[in-house]
């Protein structure tokens, strides 16, 4: 993959389930060194959009390129360039954390401890849970295991769907520090879907707002900085945007 190629290019994306369209006309470009926050009310289409981008559901229209590779043409090659943190509830409950990471490592062709920023098992307080069945773990522990799997082999693009939910404050902070370090390296990018506006304001370089399955607002670095200088900061701006969508 050419280093100058955008890690993700989404053009005219439309997706849904059956004949039902959930998201429409989505255009998105994600470059290395950027952290994109994906915001929107419940039912706005955030998860559907990420499932379409990651090839979990077929596109109804449009195109997804990962590192310049067309997801529809070469899905395995495209998927090798990103790590996707699945919902903790969707992890295989019969496996231990250790077995799950071993499975992910075998698929990616790497070691089960090949993380881009050094060991993350101890910092996330996962050591004592690695031999426990995932089904016996709390939601927060499951999310830590899912995040560890997404980070294995240090893929250029990380796609996280509500992945900070359920984490205790220390784990949340440590995960954000790891992601920030990857962004600073200039070799990686992150897409984070979340309702945690304060996290987006503190961490993201770019923000997109989804409403009714369409991107209705975008904020780049300069706009985010300007919003932070206003009364209430970026969080107040997002709350006003959400309130308008409810009326």
Domain ranges of the chain: 1-81+156-247, 88-155
Question: CA dist 66 to 107, 108, 216, 224, Å?
Answer: 18, 16, 23, 26
**Residues 6 or more apart from 54 whose CB is under 8 A from it?**
79, 82, 84, 159
**Nearest-angstrom CA–CA distance, 174 and 118:** 13
**Nearest-angstrom CA–CA distance, 192 and 158:** 8
The alpha carbon dihedral of 192, 211, 226, 243 has a sign of negative
The string of pLDDT tens digits covering residues 167-206 is 999 999 999 999 999 999 999 999 999 988 888 888 999 9
Question: CA dist 185 to 6, 111, 116, 158, 172, Å?
Answer: 16, 22, 11, 14, 20
Taking 60 as the threshold, does the pLDDT of residue 245 lie above it? no
Mean pLDDT for the chain overall? 91
**What is the fold of 1-81+156-247?**
Rossmann fold (3.40.50)
For the beta carbon of residue 3, count every other beta carbon within 10 angstroms: 9
**Nearest-angstrom CA–CA distance, 196 and 40:** 11
The pTM of the full predicted model, rounded to 2 decimals, is 0.91
The string of pLDDT tens digits covering residues 96-115 is 999 999 999 999 999 999 99
pLDDT of residue 46: 95
Q: If residue 150 lies in a helix (H) or strand (E), which one and from where to where?
A: helix 139-151
- Asked if residues 27 and 218 have their Cβ atoms less than 8 Å apart, the reply is no
**Residues 6 or more apart from 4 whose CB is under 8 A from it?**
none
Length of the chain: 247
User: Which residues, in sequence order, are bridge partners of residue 118?
Assistant: 116
Question: CA dist 117 to 60, 177, 216, Å?
Answer: 37, 10, 35
Query: Measured at the alpha carbon of residue 121, what is the angle toward residues 80 and 137, in degrees to the nearest 5?
Result: 95
């Amino acid at each position: 993959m050419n280093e100058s190629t955008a890690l993700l290019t989404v053009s005219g994306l439309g997706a849904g389930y059956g004949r039902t369209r959930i998201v429409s006309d989505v255009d998105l470009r994600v470059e290395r060194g950027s952290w994109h926050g994906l915001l929107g009310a419940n039912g706005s289409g955030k998860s559907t959009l990420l499932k379409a981008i990651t090839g979990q559901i077929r596109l109804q229209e449009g195109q997804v390129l990962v590192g310049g590779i067309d997801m529809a043409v070469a899905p395995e090659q495209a998927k090798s360039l990103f790590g996707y943190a699945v919902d903790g509830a969707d992890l295989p409950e019969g496996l231990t954390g250790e077995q799950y990471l071993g499975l992910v490592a075998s698929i990616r062709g790497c070691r089960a401890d090949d993380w881009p920023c050094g060991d993350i098992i101890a910092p996330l307080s996962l050591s004592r849970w690695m031999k426990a069945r995932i089904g016996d773990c709390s939601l927060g522990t499951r999310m830590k295991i899912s995040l560890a799997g997404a980070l294995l082999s240090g893929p250029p693009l990380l796609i996280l769907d509500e992945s900070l939910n359920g984490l205790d404050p220390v784990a949340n902070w440590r995960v954000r520090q790891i992601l920030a370090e990857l962004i600073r390296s200039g070799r990686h990018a992150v897409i984070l879907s979340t309702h945690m506006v304060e996290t987006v304001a503190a961490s993201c370089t770019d923000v997109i707002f989804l409403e009714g399955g369409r991107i209705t607002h975008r904020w780049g670095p300069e706009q985010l900085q300007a919003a932070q200088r206003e009364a209430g900061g970026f969080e107040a701006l997002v709350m006003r945007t959400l309130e308008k969508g409810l009326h």
